[in-house]
Amino acid sequence: MFLLLSFLATSPGISSAHAEDVVVDATDAAAVHKRADVLWLQRDWGGHTDEAIELLKAADKANPGDFETNWQLARFYYVKANTKSGDTKATLGKKGWDHAEAAKKLNPGAVEGYYWTSACAGAYGNGAGIMTALKDGVGDVFVENAEKAISIDADHDDGGPYRALGRFYVSTPWPVGDLDKAIELLEKANASEPNSAVNAYFLADAYHEDGNDTKAKEWATKAAGMDPKTNGDPPGVRKNVKLAEQLLAEI
């Protein structure tokens, strides 16, 4: 069980609402990144995503042009975007997208910038509307960056590049959507990390969309049975266990 902590950055305007403060100097990049990693594993607890964003923004102001600060901002903006809808979701997704693009420029050989560009472009597109986003070329941005991430490190984030691209082909309408391709990619994600609740749930959902509820039930049951206490990504397990349970109730 993770200890519920908060941070108090030394930059002006950053404060904590929690009883126990973890003091983090926003000019100390290593300390900021370490704290952000802790908050990532608590991102579904009240306020921790906002804490991470504020701390990372302060760090970005103190030391502009830091690769890790930018991709960390991208992933937390992605999480925050997915708690919203419509224009707010699109705006937050675009903020993450901008930081991911900055990370790509700062370290073109690293997977994180491409991976989070695809993710945040997806959040932006969902907020703006899928058809509008596809028309504006956001789908191409998503696919190109996810494929680049696969070419660099397909196993990053528990098979995340495979997972992201597979989910894209489930979520987009014909003629872009392709359930056969989606299932192939999501099978690869599960092979990369078999103990991922999100991998298992996404594959279950893809099989359900494809009309194969036998396979959908198999993978949803696997996802629903995962334990956040024994998994490297407790927030991902907590979220996707619930989604898997909902899917099982529908099948």
Residue 23, pLDDT > 50, answer: yes
pLDDT cut 90: percent of the chain above it: 88
- How many domains does the chain fold into? 1
- pLDDT 10s digits, 78-103: 999 999 999 999 999 999 999 999 99
Q: Which domain holds residue 5?
A: 1-64
Q: What is the pTM of this model?
A: 0.90
* Inter-CA distances, 144 with 97, 137, 164, Å: 14, 11, 12
Q: What is the mean pLDDT of the chain?
A: 91
Q: Is residue 19 part of a domain?
A: yes
pLDDT of 19 > 90? The answer is no
pLDDT of residue 105: 98
pLDDT for the residue numbered 9: 29
Q: How far is CA 63 from CA 56, 58, 101, 112, 160, in A?
A: 10, 9, 17, 19, 29
Q: Is residue 14 part of a domain?
A: yes
With respect to residue 195, please indicate whether it lies within any of the assigned structural domains: no
Asked if residue 120 belongs to a domain, the reply is: no
- Whether residue 26 is contained in a domain is answered as yes
Query: Is residue 48 in a domain?
Result: yes
Q: pLDDT band at 215, cuts 50/70/90?
A: very high
* Cα Rg, the chain, nearest whole Å: 18
The one-letter code for the residue type at 178 is D
Which pLDDT value is given to residue 4? 23
113 in a domain, yes or no? no
Weakest mean pLDDT among 5-14, 17-26, 178-187, 228-237: 5-14
Residue 5 lies in a domain: yes
